[in-house]
Copies of this chain bind each other. A is one copy, B any other.
Amino acid sequence: MIITMKKTAPQAEADKIVKNLEAKGLSVTLIRGTDYNVFGVVGDTTGVDEKIIAANPYVDNVQRVAAPYKRANRLFHEADTVVDVSGVKVGGRERIVVIGGPCSVEGREPLLEIAREVKAAGGSMLRGGAYKPRTSPYNFQGLGSEGIAYLREAREATGLPIVSELMSIDKIDEFEENVDLVQIGARNMQNFDLLKAVGKMHRPVLLKRGLANTIEEWIMAAEYIMDGGNENVIFCERGIRTFEKYTRNTLDLSVVPIIKQRSHLPIIIDPSHATGNWQLVESMSLAAIAAGADGLIIEVHNDPEHAWSDGAQSLKPANFRSVIEKGRKIAQVIGRDL
């Protein structure tokens, strides 16, 4: 950690800061500059809140050298973490996973049908929203527990582990019992109480990136979950918010190599929410695999025009199959299976 102080700072102010840091077991070196003095702070600074130091009116700037995360940090955990989702392995050199399914669970029959298509195409898990985060209170909010029940049935019928979004701490028990991979949605990425609660669960977590969250904040969200005791976190990029209007969000694929550099956790890509347009899903899926992603999560619907939500971004089963087939060949080029 580097602290820049104005030359006008009284000695007492500088001493106060140094003493404070040394009390935390850190060691501090002073560099006298022409316009500023600079303190270099050495040791484990994860517990230091830089904003508190920056509150000193003589401090011009505080910058971290080391990342603020520990448990998720590749530096302290060199090997890739492989997350086991009820038997399906994600990360490391494991087979690339492809999760498919409808945006919302709409009923028993339609879900079963889609689940069978996902399975037949070579999908590894089934996704389906039972509790839906919707911008408008007047739009369909999901089937709730009924949807979870249908997902369970679809799992029994196909053997596919199920992925569904948890929106609230009062549903923790329902998800612990029923859902194989618990999704934390983009809008809840910094819902810290939910992250803490999920940190106590025994189910792996799929952590979506927030609409406007930096990679560092995203890793810190994983750190919350891991700090609670749950080390099975899978990152999921789903596009960020920019000024561009032709796509719903801007898919940021550079996160794949960056997450792999900085963390040991797996990362998968959601091209459906990222683009909001099914016509872009195949090319973005292949790009994600080429970039090194550990998996994909894709919306699949057999009648997208009549989907109850997000039909515009859902693939028909035939297109989903095509993505998997081409994706498999791309995977081979970079030495992975799918």
Contact = CB atoms under 8 A, between A and B. Distances in A.
Interface of A: 2, 4, 16, 29, 31-36, 38, 40, 42-44, 46-47, 49, 51-52, 54-57, 60-61, 63, 65-66, 68, 75, 131, 133-140, 167-170, 187-188, 190-194, 196, 211-217, 220, 223-224, 227, 240-247, 250-254, 256-258, 261-262, 274-275, 279-280, 283-284, 286-292, 304-312, 314, 326, 329-330, 333-334
Residue picked from A57, A169, A283, most chain B C-beta under 10 Å: A283
Contacts of A135: 68, 190, 217, 220
A46 B34 CA distance: 13
Contacts of A286: 290-291, 333-334
A32 B292 CA distance: 35
Contacts of A243: 212, 214, 240-243
Contact of A216 (B47, B246, B307): B246
Contacts of A213: 211
Q: How many copies altogether?
A: 4
A52 B261 contact: no
A245 B274 CA distance: 19
A244 B217 CA distance: 10
Nearest to A223: B137
14 contacts: A2-B40, A31-B42, A33-B65, A55-B304, A55-B305, A55-B306, A135-B190, A211-B212, A211-B213, A240-B242, A247-B258, A250-B252, A258-B280, A287-B290
Given A51-B310, A169-B168, A214-B244, A326 B330 contact: no
